Amino acid sequence: MAITLIRNAEVVVTMDPLRREIRGGAVVVEDKRIAFVGTAIEAQEWIAADPARTPEATIDATGCVVTPGLVNCHHHLFQTLTRSIGTGRGLKLFDWLKMLYPIWGGLNGEAVYTSAKVGLAELLLSGATTVADHLYMFPNGARLDDEIAAAAELGVRFHPTRGSMSLGQSKGGLPPDNLVENEQDILDDSLRVIEEFHDPEPFSMLRIGLAPCSPFSVSADLMRESARMARGFRNVGLHTHLCETLDEDRFCLEKFGARPIDYAESLEWLGKDVWFAHMVHPNAEEVKRLGHTCSGICHCPSSNMILASGIAPVRAMVDARVRVGLGVDGSASNDGNHMLGEARQAMLLQRVGWPGFESSADRMSAREALELATLGGAKVLQRDDIGSLEAGKAADLVAFRIDGLHHAGALGDPVAALLTCAPASAWLSMINGRVVVEGGQIKGLDMRTLIDKHNSISHAMQVRAGVA
């Protein structure tokens, strides 16, 4: 067995049941799993107890905080192609979508693959090791397969969701008719990607989810049929946007005679296999219902702020035992892909408060926000094999350097410094026992060539749509 020793960390943040933080910590990795977590001295004693445990590689993590790999529970990787368009003008969600749909209509397989690789590379360097993506448009032959290929090449633990839009403007939906699909075609392709790619086993690197886009872009029938299909397989999740804006509240009340969560429940869309993106506007009773049904929530603070969607009551949801994780959301509604930065935003935004609650500096601590980004995200994706550094868990971990300029003077509490100071980039990232980021660089990736290709595709799409 290949053994790697990571030692001498300033702190190892375990997120184990005791939430241990180990000064002078070490992690021993055996093939794809964590074998031992403790102090550097304890790790050396554990290794010395058996000659077969001699490390093949030793990594000195002096000056680093080592954490579980961060888990990004909601993204639209294709949106790296249209960053800052619309957000710079201060558009709200519905107007922003209407402006961007014509550009996104130029997507094809190459664009999906290249944008996914750019977005995933940025996420890797921000500390993400597991990424859930929501691809809901498939024009010009684009397929979910295209972003799956990009994730496999980079070595990311991936949860792509086969999204869909079937309700065009002529039928009362928001997207243009040329970007929606026939519902039977959607279901047929959903079944195909599950059967071809989904791995339900522990330590899986690839799990598929089904993700009708939103209440204003798909029919009730598609929501129901997607849920029933997913539940015919083990560990296939269900994902959609819900309660993101007050406009959505009004849409659901006018079209369905129900608030978004009531509508979702009527379609069999609450439960432990479901996670919703955003959840900005639930009322107190709905928060309790989300907790009671074990439904999951992905909080996307930067996107919610940029699009003026509101402040999600994350503190109330966590207190109600709702499964809550974090996501950067689409790169065009965030204009960045920094998971550690998103954890910082979550912490700060909860301190500001939300309607009906006064601001409070103690509402969300740095450690609570970091837990949302690690263990919280693992729970949202129904994973008990990632999210913490414990023997037997998958070897997904990140080391952030805190010995430089941006953290000078912060070593009294280096864990909190990860979120209170300027967000650091990953110095080391290991996924499934394989080093993916080393010395702050993604191994084997020609970043300049990738960026140039991505920018060329982006410009061509904007020219075709008449916005460049």
Question: What's the whole-number mean pLDDT along residues 428-443?
Answer: 98
What's the topology of domain 70-380? TIM Barrel (3.20.20)
Q: Is the confidence at residue 468, as pLDDT, over 80? A: no
Local confidence band at 136 (pLDDT 50, 70, 90 cut-offs): very high
Q: Is the confidence at residue 78, as pLDDT, over 70? A: yes
Q: Which of 384, 367, 366 is nearest to 323 (CA)?
A: 384
Q: Which one is the CATH code of 3-68+385-442: 2.40.40.20, 3.40.190.10, 1.10.645.10, 2.30.40.10?
A: 2.30.40.10
Local confidence band at 239 (pLDDT 50, 70, 90 cut-offs): very high
Q: Which of 324, 312, 320, 337 is nearest to 387 (CA)?
A: 324
Q: What is the pLDDT of residues 12-57, one digit of tens each?
A: 999 999 999 999 999 999 999 999 999 999 999 999 999 999 999 9
Q: What is the pLDDT of residues 319-332, one digit of tens each?
A: 999 999 999 998 77
Q: Is the confidence at residue 357, as pLDDT, over 70? A: no
Q: Is the confidence at residue 361, as pLDDT, over 70? A: no
* Predicted pLDDT of residue 356: 60
Where along the chain do its domains lie?
3-68+385-442, 70-380
User: 352 is written with which tokens?
Assistant: 């500001």
Spatial separation of the C-alpha atoms in residues 316 and 308, rounded to whole Å:
20
What residues form DSSP beta bridges with 274? 238
Local confidence band at 89 (pLDDT 50, 70, 90 cut-offs): confident
**H helical segments located in 330-394:** 339-352, 366-371, 377-380
* Predicted pLDDT of residue 403: 96
Local confidence band at 156 (pLDDT 50, 70, 90 cut-offs): very high
Q: Is the confidence at residue 58, as pLDDT, over 90? A: yes
b (16+ CB within 10 A) / e for 430-463:
bbbbbbbbeeeebeebeeeebeebbeebbeebbe
Q: What is the pLDDT of residues 90-110, one digit of tens each?
A: 888 888 889 999 999 999 999
| pTM more than 0.85 | yes
* Predicted pLDDT of residue 301: 95
Report the mean per-residue pLDDT for the chain. 95
Q: What is the pLDDT of residues 362-397, one digit of tens each?
A: 789 999 999 999 999 999 999 999 999 999 999 999
Local confidence band at 360 (pLDDT 50, 70, 90 cut-offs): low
Spatial separation of the C-alpha atoms in residues 259 and 249, rounded to whole Å:
6
Q: Is the confidence at residue 292, as pLDDT, over 80? A: yes
Spatial separation of the C-alpha atoms in residues 176 and 378, rounded to whole Å:
35
Q: What is the pLDDT of residues 168-212, one digit of tens each?
A: 999 988 899 999 999 999 999 999 999 999 999 999 999 999 999
* Predicted pLDDT of residue 164: 97
* Predicted pLDDT of residue 278: 96
CA dihedral 81, 84, 87, 90 (to 10 degrees): -150
Spatial separation of the C-alpha atoms in residues 324 and 364, rounded to whole Å:
13
User: 388 is written with which tokens?
Assistant: 């913490």
User: Which of 81-90, 248-257, 271-280 has the lowest average pLDDT?
Assistant: 81-90
